[in-house]
């Protein structure tokens, strides 16, 4: 007996990357250990500083983080529509000012940019003051923690590090795992 299910939603867009196909789709590294750290993000600091400063003090330069939600005095985010130039599948929009907002939930990655400086990449779901639910790539340097500390669960990456590098397939810079420098 064959069953057919009708899908009421349109088919998601298929991403075709503009660069050279790489048959190795997932680049991964493994390490036996990794510290777990609980942070409370300091009110009044940018999301970037509130994450990077305490982790730097703990000797952490690469990490995976879960932001458990909280108020931001000011929050900016971007979305990633198709790249009109065709050079890549996506291109970030200009920052969208959400003003005062509540981050429902977020995931962030800490690594190093191409100049070996700290880089925070964060995606989140948020609710604006007008109760609109939005989501996208949070601009960490421009997003300011509200009056209450925001809890974050951190898994420190040890034994290797995440570094931003140009990706030939996507034609954009991505965080990739490398042996520690």
Percent of the chain with pLDDT over 90: 67
d(CA 136, CA 21): 26
Instruction: Give the confidence band of 13 by pLDDT, cuts at 50, 70, 90.
Output: low
In this prediction, residue 15 carries a pLDDT of: 67
Whether 13 is in a domain gets the answer no
Residue 110 resides in a domain: yes
18 lies in some domain:
no
pLDDT digits (tens, 9 = 90+) for 37-88: 999 999 999 999 999 999 999 999 999 999 999 999 999 999 988 888 888 8
What's the CATH number where 133 sits? 3.30.1330.80
Cα torsion through 106, 107, 108, 109, rounded to 10: 180
Domain total of the chain: 1
Residue 55 within a domain:
yes
Please check whether residue 44 lies inside any domain of the structure: yes
Give how far Cα 50 sits from Cα of 5, 53, 75, 149, Å.
Answer: 47, 6, 14, 10
Range of the domain at 104: 36-178
Residue 153 has pLDDT above 90, yes or no: yes
**Within a domain: residue 10?**
no
pLDDT > 90? residue 96 = yes
Six token digits for residue 47: 């999301």
Give the CA count within 13 Å in the CB-facing half-sphere of 154: 28
């Amino acid at each position: 007996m064959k069953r057919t299910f009708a899908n009421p939603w349109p088919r998601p867009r298929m991403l075709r990357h503009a660069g050279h196909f790489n048959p190795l789709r997932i680049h991964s590294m493994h390490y036996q250990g990794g510290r777990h750290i609980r942070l409370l993000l300091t009110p009044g600091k940018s999301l970037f500083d509130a994450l990077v400063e305490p982790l730097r003090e703990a000797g952490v330069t690469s990490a995976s983080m879960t932001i458990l939600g909280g108020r931001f005095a000011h929050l900016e985010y971007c979305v990633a529509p198709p790249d009109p130039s065709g050079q890549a599948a996506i291109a970030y929009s200009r920052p969208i000012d959400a003003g005062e907002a509540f981050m429902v939930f977020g995931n962030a990655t800490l690594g190093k940019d191409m100049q070996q400086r700290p880089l925070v990449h964060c995606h989140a779901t948020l609710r604006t003051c007008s109760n609109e639910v939005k989501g996208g790539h949070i601009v960490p340097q421009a997003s300011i923690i509200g009056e209450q500390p925001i809890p974050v669960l951190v898994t420190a990456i040890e034994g290797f590090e995440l570094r931003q590098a140009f990706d030939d397939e996507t034609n954009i810079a991505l965080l990739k795992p490398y042996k520690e420098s």
